[in-house]
């Protein structure tokens, strides 16, 4: 049963499920992001990003994703949106601006989509629907 359930979650397109295994893998990313709640740490990070990241439990891929602001990649590697949003805040980005980046649209396009009622659920329930759309 557990196996089937996992497949069901995996089938939701464009969505990362943040469970305990992910949280373990991404502990360093989220641990780093928590430190950005303090203004002095935000300043230290900005002064030398690569150096600042050395104090956390991060592998090379995770470090790269943070430095390059690969917002989806960070989530894939165990980051959680409520934590990575603090990196967004450090960069002066709102939640909506970070969300726009993850969807590959501009802030204007994304805001317009939301004003028009958001992304509809039709066509966005299963990965097969996304493959059909792109193929």
Partner 1 sequence: MAKIIASVCCSHVPAIGAAIDLGKTEEPYWTRVFSGFEKSKKILEELKPDVCIVVFNDHATAFSMDIVPTFALGCAAEYAPADEGWGPRPVPVVKGHPDLSAHIAKSVILDEFDLTVVNKMEVDHGLTVPLNLVFGSPKEWPCPVIPLAVNVVLFPPPTGRRCYNLGKAIRKAVESYPEDLRVVIMGTGGMSHQISGPRAGLINSDFDKAFLDSLAGDASHAMNLQHIEFMREAGAEGIEMVMWLVARGAMDEKVVEKYRFYTVPASNTAVGHIILENAA
Binding site for partner 1 (CB under 8 A): 5, 8-9, 12-20, 23, 26-27, 30-31, 33-34, 36-38, 42, 72, 75, 80-83, 85-86, 89-90, 94-96, 98-100, 102-104, 110, 113-115, 117-121, 124-125
Query: Which two tokens mark 123?
Result: 């066509």
- Cβ atoms of 44 and 52 within 8 Å: the answer is yes
CB of 26 to partner 1, least distance (A): 8
Q: Which is nearer to partner 1, 63 or 101 (CB)?
A: 101
Q: Would you tell me how many other CB atoms lie within 10 Å of the CB of residue 63?
A: 19
61 Cβ neighbours under 8 A, 6+ residues apart = 73, 77
Instruction: State the nearest-atom distance from the C-beta of 65 to partner 1, in Å.
Output: 14
Q: Are 84 and 71 in contact (CB under 8 A)?
A: yes
Q: How far is the CB of 8 from partner 1 (least distance, A)?
A: 5
> Considering the complex, what minimum distance in angstroms separates the CB of residue 68 from partner 1?
17
Of residues 5 and 108, the one with the C-beta less far from partner 1: 5
**Cβ distance 81 to 17 under 8 Å?**
no
Cβ–Cβ < 8 Å for 46, 90:
yes
């Amino acid at each position: 049963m557990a196996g089937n359930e996992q497949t069901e979650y995996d089938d939701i397109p464009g969505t990362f499920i943040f469970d305990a295994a992910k949280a373990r893998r991404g502990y360093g990313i989220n641990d780093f992001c928590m430190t950005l709640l303090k203004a002095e740490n935000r300043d230290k990070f900005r002064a030398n990003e690569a150096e600042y990241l050395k104090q956390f439990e991060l592998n090379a891929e995770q470090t790269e994703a943070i430095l390059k602001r690969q917002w989806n990649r960070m989530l894939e590697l165990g980051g959680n949106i409520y934590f990575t949003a603090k990196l967004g805040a450090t960069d002066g980005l709102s939640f909506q601006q970070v969300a726009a980046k993850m969807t590959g649209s501009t802030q204007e396009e994304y805001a317009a989509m939301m004003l028009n009622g958001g992304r509809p659920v039709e066509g966005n329930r299963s990965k097969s629907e996304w493959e059909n759309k792109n193929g």
